[in-house]
Amino acid sequence: MPAEKFSASMEDALLADARADAEAEGLTFSSWLADAAADRLRLKELRKLVSDWEVEHGAITTAELDALEDKVAAARRAAGTRPSRARTTDSSHQAAS
């Protein structure tokens, strides 16, 4: 698949963290950036899906979220998998939604 080259700018610390994560995952930085862009687009679509569902059914409650987290944790234990590693949550690295 042909790829278009482009230039991007970001904070030095964020760039260093992103490059280190790409290397740790065995990805080229270009692949890592493409994955990050795809992840962001999927999250945007998920937020829309949840928003649309809440318009129709009402807001999802904290109790419902807690119950879902319990089910996911139980399914992971049953499957013998570990929770995915946490992403960087430093607010300086987060983009505005």
CB atoms near residue 43 (< 10 Å): 11
Could you read off the pLDDT of 59-73 as tens digits, one per residue? 999 999 999 999 999
Of all residues in the chain, the percent with pLDDT exceeding 70 is: 84
Q: Is the pLDDT confidence value at 57 over 50?
A: yes
Are 3 and 30 spatial neighbours (Cβ–Cβ below 8 Å)? yes
Could you read off the pLDDT of 11-40 as tens digits, one per residue? 999 999 999 999 999 999 999 999 999 999
Q: Is the pLDDT confidence value at 75 over 50?
A: yes
DSSP code string of 11-56: -HHHHHHHHHHHHHTT--HHHHHHHHHHHHHHHHHHHHHHHHHHHH
Categorize the per-residue pLDDT at 92 as very low, low, confident or very high, splitting at 50, 70 and 90: very low
pLDDT score of 41:
98
What pTM, to 2 d.p., does this model score? 0.66
Taking every pair of Cα atoms in the chain, the longest distance, rounded to a whole number of angstroms, is 47
Question: Bigger pLDDT: 93 or 30?
Answer: 30
Picking from 28, 31, 45, 27, the residue whose alpha carbon sits closest to that of residue 1 is 31
CA distance 42 to 39: 5
CA distance 10 to 85: 23
CA distance 44 to 41: 5
